[in-house]
Structure 1
Amino acid sequence: MNRTDRLYALVEELRAVAPRPRSVRWLADRFEVSSRTIERDLSALQSSGVPIWAEPGRTGGYCLDPSHTLAPLGFTVDEALAMAISLGMLETSPFRDAAISALRKVVAVTDDRSLKETAELATRIHLLDERPANAETRGIGEALRTGHVLQIAYVDRAGVATSRSVEPMGFVGKGGDWYLVAWCRLRDGLRAFRGDRIAEVKLTGERTQRRSLRAEDLGVVQGELRAVNPRGNRL
C-alpha cells in the first residue's frame, strides 16, 4: 500500500470507530508499518486540516471528530470496481434506487484515470439475474428505516392473493431474491415475504415500535445467515 492509499485508509479506520481512539501501535500493526511512520502520517493529516486529535492515557490513542464533515475520499481502481459490482447486485433489491445514487457518488469522487480503468474492467463483468426487478418493492427500504407499517398485496406460492398489514423488521437476500421479514398482523406472527410476490405496497402513515429481530427467529434450515457490517470486519 502506497502512502496516499494509507492516508485515506487511516482516515476511514478512525472514522469507522469514532469517537473511540485507535492506538499508534494498533494502527502500525494494521497497516504493517512502523509506529513512527503512523505518527508522521497522522501529523500530515492533522496539518492538512483533518480533525484528528490525541486522546491521552493508557487506553488512549488517536480519534477523529465525527461531527466534522470531511472532503470526499477517492477510491482506488479495485475499490471502485468492488463498489460498482456490489451496488450492481442490488438491482433486484428494495435498495435499487439508493444503490444507483450511491454509485453516482462513487463516480464523483474517483479520478478520471481510475474511473476510465474501472469502466473498462467493468465491461468484463456481468451479473446473471433469473428475473427482472420488481418495481413494487423499491419503497420498502424506507419503511424499515422510518418504522412505518405497510399495507401489501401478496401472492403466495399457491397463487392465493391476500392483503396484509405488516411491520417491517428486516430483509434477507438469497441470490437474486430478496425477502421482506415482517410481523404480519393477519397471521399474528413473523413472516418472510418474497419480493417478486409483493404486488402492491402502500405506506399507511402509522408508525410502530421496532420489534427485535434475531437470526434464530428466522428459522433458516438451509444455508448460513451472514450479517452486513458497514464498518468492515474490524470492530
Structure 2
Amino acid sequence: MNRTARLYALVEELRAAAPRPLRIAALAARFEVSTRTVQRDLQTLMESGVPVRTTPGRGGGWTIDPATTLPPMHFTTDEAAALAAALAAADSCAPYAGAARTAYQKIVASMTGPGSAAARELAARIVALPARTDPAVRAAVEQALADTSVLRLSYVDAAGRESERDVEPAGLLTAAGRWYLIAWCRTRRAGRGFRLDRIASAAPTGEQAHPHDLAELLLGSAAADAVPPAALAPLP
C-alpha cells in the first residue's frame, strides 16, 4: 500500500472506530508498518487540516470526529484536475479563499503520477485579479453567515460617506468581479448589498440574526434576476 492510500485508509480506520480512540501500535499492526511511520502519517493528516487528535494517558489514543470529515470520494483524473484548477484560481481576496486553497492542496497531494502534474500545470495557467478586501472583514462575514449572527459594519458608500450599520446577513452575491454581502439593514429596514471592498470594518455583535431569504432581499434590486448555480442531477 502506497502512502497516499495509507493516509486515506488511516482516516477511514479512525472514522470506523470513532469515538473510541485507537493506539499507534494497533494502527501500525493493522497497516503492517512501523509505529514511527504511523506517527508521521498522523502528523501529516493533522497538518493538512484533517481533524485527528490524540488523547494522552491510559485508555487514550488517536481519534477523529466523523461529523467534520467526509468519506473518500473517487474522482477521475479530469475531475480532480478541474477541481484543482478551479480552487487554485479562486481570488485570494474572495470569501472562503483560505478553505479553497487548502482544498486545492489536499486534492493535488492525493494525486500521483501524470494526473498530479496535469492538475498543477492546468492550475498554473489560470490567474485571478484580486480585489482589495480586508482579510479581517472577510473572516467576520464568513463567520456571521455560518452562525447567522448580526454584524456591525463600518461602510463607505460610492460617494465616500462612512456610516455604521447593524446588518443581518443573508448571503453573498458576485457580480462583475465584485463580491457583495446581501443583508437586512436595520438602519434602512430593508435588504441591502454591501460591497466587501467598501466595508472598512466588520465586528460580530454576539446577537443571533433573524433568518432572511436571499431571493426576497434581492427583489427590486439590480440583482433581482440573479440565480444560484444550477442544481446537478444525481449521479446514476
| Same structural fold, with TM-score higher than 0.5 when normalized by the shorter chain | yes
Query: Partner of 1:96 in structure 2?
Result: 97
Instruction: Judge conservation of contact 1:90–1:99 (CA < 8 Å) in 2.
Output: no
- Hey, what does 1:73 align to over in structure 2? 73
- 1:234 alignment counterpart: 233
String of CA shifts for 1:97-143, please: whole Å, max 9, x gaps.
221232233224323431112112222222344x3443233221221
The 5 A counterparts of 1:120-199 are 120-129=121-130, 131-139=131-139, 140-199=141-200
Question: What TM-score do you get using the length of structure 1 for normalisation?
Answer: 0.61
Provide the rounded CA distance (Å) in 2 between the counterparts of 1:133 and 1:218: 26
Assess if the C-alpha contact under 8 Å between 2:91 and 2:128 holds in 1.
no
Report how far residue 79 of structure 1 moved.
2.0
* TM-fit CA distance, 1:224: 4.5
Identity across matched positions, percent: 37
Q: Which residue of 1 aligns with 2:61?
A: none
TM-score (norm 2): 0.61
Partners of 1:150 and 1:189 lie apart in 2 by 15
In 2, Cα distance between equivalents of 1:226 and 1:210:
19
Aligned residues of 2:86 and 2:123 also touching (Cα < 8 A): no
8 A Cα contact 1:215 1:225, kept in partner: no
CA displacement at 1:86 relative to structure 2 = 2.6
> Residue 60 of structure 2 aligns with which residue?
none
Could you tell me whether the CA contact under 8 Å between 1:149 and 1:165 is conserved in 2?
yes
The answer to whether the aligner puts 1:107 opposite 2:108 as a matched pair is: yes
The alpha carbon displacement at 1:222 in A equals: 6.7
Q: CA RMSD in A?
A: 2.7
Q: Distance in 2 between matches of 1:234 and 1:128?
A: 32
Q: Which amino acid aligns with 1:138?
A: R
Query: 3-state SS of the aligned residue for 2:214?
Result: coil
Asked whether the equivalents of residues 190 and 217 of structure 2 are also in contact (C-alpha less than 8 Å), the reply is no
Structure 1 gap segments, 5+ residues each: 1-66
Off by >6 Å, runs of 4+ in structure 1? none
Q: Which residue of 2 aligns with 1:83?
A: 83
- Structure 2 unmatched ranges of 5 or more: 1-66
